[in-house]
Amino acid sequence: MDKTALQEIQAPLKDRYRTEPTAAQITLSADGTLDDGIACSVQTGKALVEAGLHPATGGDGLQACSGDMLLQALVACAGVTLRAVATSLEIPIRGGILRAEGDLDFRGTLGVAKDAPVGFTAIRLSIDVDTDADADQLATLLKLTERYCVVYQTLAGNPALTVSLS
């Protein structure tokens, strides 16, 4: 896809969202089904993924780990966002590799140490692109990728979070 094609697709959406701001406010959702054992099946839209315990908490490694899935969502969103920004700025990208790493202390998740945090304490996203872009273009590409990546901004922004059980 080139810049013109992307603009043709997005222009009517942007126009509508300018005149009808509430049309841009959409609730995304994900559904899961509790499975036998310690597992939950989640429909991704393309496939059914069965999530289970990470091996560091007693899992057998045959099921997806939700922590891995979070990092995968970050990589996917950043990759798509980077491609869209590069297309809009007409920065040619031949390819690239994205990698997200996150640090966890499983003592927190397992309740072994009350002072150990539950969840990621640090997440690093690295992006290696194959391009002839200059340093200024790369800086702009990175800045706008960070700015418009939904998953990155969600993780960085500490959104309101509620849980209910019935």
65-158 has CATH 3.40.1390.30 classification: no
Residues 23, 11 contacting (CB under 8 angstroms) = no
Q: What is the pLDDT of residue 36?
A: 83
Give the integer Cα–Cα distance in Å for 163 and 166: 10
Residue with tokens 């054992």: 37
Element (H, E) at 11: helix 3-19
Give the integer Cα–Cα distance in Å for 76 and 48: 17
For CATH 3.30.300.20, the residue range(s) in the chain are 65-158
Give the integer Cα–Cα distance in Å for 155 and 74: 9
Q: What is the pLDDT of residue 136?
A: 97
From first to last of its 166 residues, what are the pLDDT tens digits of the chain?
Answer: 999 999 999 999 999 999 999 999 988 888 888 888 888 989 888 889 999 999 999 999 999 999 999 999 999 999 999 999 999 999 999 999 999 999 999 999 999 999 999 999 999 999 999 999 999 999 999 999 999 999 999 999 999 999 999 9
Rounded to two decimals, the pTM is 0.89
